């Protein structure tokens, strides 16, 4: 086997499955696997449980060890590891191959791959694309950044299968020059995001553009020509360039918002270019009910609707939520500051929402921006999400909606966006219990 006897360091076990899948798969190939992470065993308990029974040679917790990088033949980098990391540079200087879980999968996947990227809406667009291919009778696998590693499914994937991968800027950055790029690409949009991770806006853009610039000749690319940034990217396409479907061609959807119609247009254009029948595309769109954590209705309490939009980690996603739900909405916004511009988000909240409770590390910054706005939107700062929800609840009326649409990363107070959503749902249930007493 290719990896038999190879010394492989999996850098960053993480909590989302990629590190687990890479460690388990490589160990099964006969590699001598070391898993190393800055976190301790307690923080990674769920991932360690998922690795139970895997032939991992060694675990290193609470910090990295130099020899695990200097003596490695290969280092599998977790996407969250930042560029120019000193441990990765140490391994590369010692001659190790630097790769990632998604690259291991791409280079060995026998099926045909559709890659989806963008700053907002890429999860929904990927799921819509997979649904259209399935409605057309294809065997389809959905994975990548959407939350599922497919590395362990390689033996089950056939040459005629279709794989739809959501690809983040982190994942695209860590693909090596030898990585296989998807034959079909969808670029939803590109706005400033993760500028706390990328060195600059041009670096972020360059990561996204890899899906087009390094695509195999003869491929298919759908690029959103209505987005100010991606409208300029057509010249990068090496294969056949296709525009999203016009809105008039999109049937009524079961998910709210113009942004979801835009997502549907990109997915439909890709599915059509890949040979799907128009009837299958339309049926998939009519039946699509959305993803968890994307404007997901999770409760109705005393006449108020509660929406979980925890995957809205950019300001543009909050704007889309305001546009989709109308004016009778109270927003919970905040978290960890990724170094992006919040002014347009605040302006839209000021003119389109009843109120906004800002919480978490970025709350004072957002409140200061809101204080500079004219408009009827009430606002307040609260330390925690639960406190922010209480503030919105006390001021809301029957017929209003309360929405967790944070516009920021979660990891000032939560493990990830799922943990944040869980906290929101639990706080809403506590409100319901109080109302029912």
Tens of pLDDT, residue by residue over 179-199, are 999 999 999 999 999 989 998
Q: Let me know whether 264 and 157 are in one domain.
A: yes
Query: How many Å apart are CA 393 and CA 406, to the nearest integer?
Result: 17
Are 214 and 282 contained in the same domain?
yes
Structure confidence at residue 16 (pLDDT): 66
Question: In this structure, are 79 and 166 located in the same domain?
Answer: no
Q: What is the DSSP string of 251-268?
A: PP-SS-SHHHHHHHHHHH
Q: 71-88: per-residue pLDDT in tens?
A: 999 999 999 999 999 999
395 in Cβ contact with 372 (< 8 Å)? no
Is residue 87 one of the residues assigned to a domain?
Answer: yes
Separation CA 147–CA 304 (nearest Å): 30
Check whether residue 129 and residue 269 sit in a common domain. Answer: yes
Contacts of 35 (CB under 8 A, 6+ apart): 9, 10, 13, 19, 23, 51, 56, 58, 59, 60
DSSP character for 415?
A: S
Name the strands in the sheet holding 240-242, side by side, starting at the edge strand that comes first in the sequence: 140-144, 162-166, 112-117, 184-187, 220-223, 240-242
Neighbours of 14 (CB within 10 A): 21
Query: pTM of the prediction?
Result: 0.91
> What are φ and ψ of residue 144, in 5° steps?
90, -140
Structural domain includes residue 1? no
Question: Per residue in 199-236, pLDDT tens?
Answer: 899 999 999 999 999 998 889 999 999 999 999 999 99
Domain boundary among 48, 67, 99: 99
Report the pLDDT averaged over residues 157-173: 98
424, 318: one domain: yes
What CATH number does the domain containing 401 carry?
Answer: 3.90.190.20
Asked whether residue 2 is domain-assigned, the answer is: no
Question: Considering Cα of 241, then 246, then 249, then 250, what sign does the dihedral take?
Answer: positive
Residues of the domain holding 81: 7-99
The rounded percent of the chain whose pLDDT value lies above 70 is 99
pLDDT in tens, 85-140: 999 999 999 999 999 999 999 999 999 999 999 999 999 999 999 999 999 999 99
Q: Per-residue pLDDT for 376 more than 90? A: no
Q: Are residues 59 and 174 in the same domain?
A: no
């Amino acid at each position: 086997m290719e990896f038999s006897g190879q010394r492989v360091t999996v850098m960053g076990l993480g909590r989302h499955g990629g590190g687990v899948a890479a460690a388990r798969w490589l160990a099964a190939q006969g590699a001598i696997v070391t898993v190393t992470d800055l976190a301790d065993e307690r923080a990674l308990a769920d991932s360690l449980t998922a690795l139970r029974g895997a032939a991992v040679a060694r675990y290193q917790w609470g910090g990295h060890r130099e020899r695990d990088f200097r003596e490695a033949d290969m280092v599998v980098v977790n996407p969250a590891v930042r560029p120019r990391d000193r441990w990765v540079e140490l391994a590369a200087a010692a001659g190790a191959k630097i790769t990632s879980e998604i690259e291991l999968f791409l280079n060995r996947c026998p099926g045909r791959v559709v890659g989806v990227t963008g700053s907002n809406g890429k999860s929904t667009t990927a799921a819509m694309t997979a649904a259209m291919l399935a409605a057309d009778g294809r065997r389809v696998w959905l994975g990548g950044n959407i939350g599922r590693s497919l590395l362990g499914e390689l033996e089950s994937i056939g040459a005629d299968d279709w794989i739809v991968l959501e690809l983040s800027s982190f994942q695209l950055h860590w693909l090596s020059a030898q990585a296989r790029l998807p034959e079909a690409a969808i670029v939803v949009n590109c706005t400033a995001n993760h500028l706390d991770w990328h060195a600059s806006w041009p670096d972020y853009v360059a990561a996204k553009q890899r899906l087009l610039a390094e695509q195999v000749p003869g491929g298919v690319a759908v690029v959103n020509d209505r987005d100010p940034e991606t409208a300029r990217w057509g010249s990068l396409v090496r294969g056949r360039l296709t525009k999203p479907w016009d809105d008039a061609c999109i049937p009524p959807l079961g998910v709210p918002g113009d942004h979801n119609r835009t997502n549907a247009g990109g997915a439909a254009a890709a599915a059509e270019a890949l040979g799907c029948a128009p009837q299958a595309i339309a049926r998939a769109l009519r039946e699509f009910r959305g993803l968890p954590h994307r404007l997901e209705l999770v409760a109705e309490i005393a006449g108020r609707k509660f929406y979980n939009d925890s995957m809205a980690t950019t300001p543009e996603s909050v704007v889309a939520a305001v546009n989709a739900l109308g004016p009778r909405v109270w927003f919970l916004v905040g978290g960890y500051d990724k170094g992006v511009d919040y002014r347009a988000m605040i302006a839209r909240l000021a003119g389109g929402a009843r109120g906004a409770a800002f919480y978490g590390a970025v709350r004072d910054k957002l409140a200061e921006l809101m204080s500079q706005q004219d408009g009827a939107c009430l606002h307040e700062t609260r330390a925690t999400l639960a406190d922010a929800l209480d503030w919105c609840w006390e001021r809301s009326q029957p017929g209003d909606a309360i929405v967790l649409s944070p516009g920021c990363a979660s990891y000032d107070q939560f493990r990830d966006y799922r943990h944040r959503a869980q906290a929101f749902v639990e706080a809403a249930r506590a409100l319901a219990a109080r109302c029912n007493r």
